[in-house]
Structure 1
């Protein structure tokens, strides 16, 4: 795990791979809870029997936004940022969904630091990321997330 205590330590990772998270299994129960939270109960996510017959994937798939919502959880497995007053999810850029994540698949996050800026004492970090799917050539998605860090 990469430990970052301040802007200078963060900046030293510019353009470098920062690591990989652990594998996370996407189970039907997680998909169903996400459907409940977002009110998105489309059958391709929540009806395994129907998906087996009608879906091109032959099983249910995770919501694209469910896979995105895993970013903070998986990111914190890779990087431990210390000495913070606050951190803010600021944006998502260049996002492309490349492949559906079927139920019971395992995913992990691969990240590098694409850019970093000191905005009057606030660190703006663009993190390039890929959500890999175990045993698949194509990732679930690629893109950049933007975080704002207020160091102490």
Structure 2
């Protein structure tokens, strides 16, 4: 469910748990397209037969950076700020790839606003993001993202 706030209320978001995004299945096609985009065709990601036979994960897994890149999609499902002219993914302070995401698994993200700082022309949000794997015991990714909103 999307939290929608006007730009003027962004500072009040500190500590707000935005809840969970929708589930997304990580398909082999998505993994292959990502591999093409970043030129990383390691067999553990793109060779399903070999990954089933030789990998410790029992099949192909998504690239860690593919799992991380999904934060952009999930983030837009969780927060909408009305009255902004520009939204910027400013970067990351910390990232950990905790558990591999097997092809065919479903993932979703939780986001908690840790900090809001006023910057020239806008606000910077520091967001604790956790991507979980359906049925998993540990998260796939834990990341602290930085996002900027300009009015």
TM-score by length of 1: 0.95
Distance 1:121 1:39 in 2: 37
Distance 2:10 2:104 in 1: 35
Asked if residue 3 in structure 1 is aligned to residue 43 in structure 2, the reply is no
Return the offset for 1:16: 2.2
Return the offset for 1:121: 2.6
Distance 1:16 1:86 in 2: 22
In the alignment, structure 1 segments of 5+ residues that lack a partner are none
Could you report, residue by residue, the CA deviation over 1:50-74 in whole angstroms, capped at 9, with x for unpaired residues? 0011100010000011111111111
Greater mean deviation of Cα atoms: 12-21 or 24-33: 12-21
Matches within 5 A, 1:118-137: 118-137=118-137
Equivalent in the alignment of 1:12? 12
Greater mean deviation of Cα atoms: 89-98 or 57-66: 89-98
Alignment length, in residue pairs? Answer: 150
Equivalent in the alignment of 1:97? 97
Equivalent in the alignment of 1:34? 34
Distance 2:69 2:93 in 1: 15
RMSD (Å) for aligned C-alpha atoms: 1.0
Equivalent in the alignment of 1:80? 80
Greater mean deviation of Cα atoms: 74-83 or 41-50: 74-83
TM-score by length of 2: 0.96
Return the offset for 1:9: 1.6
Equivalent in the alignment of 1:113? 113
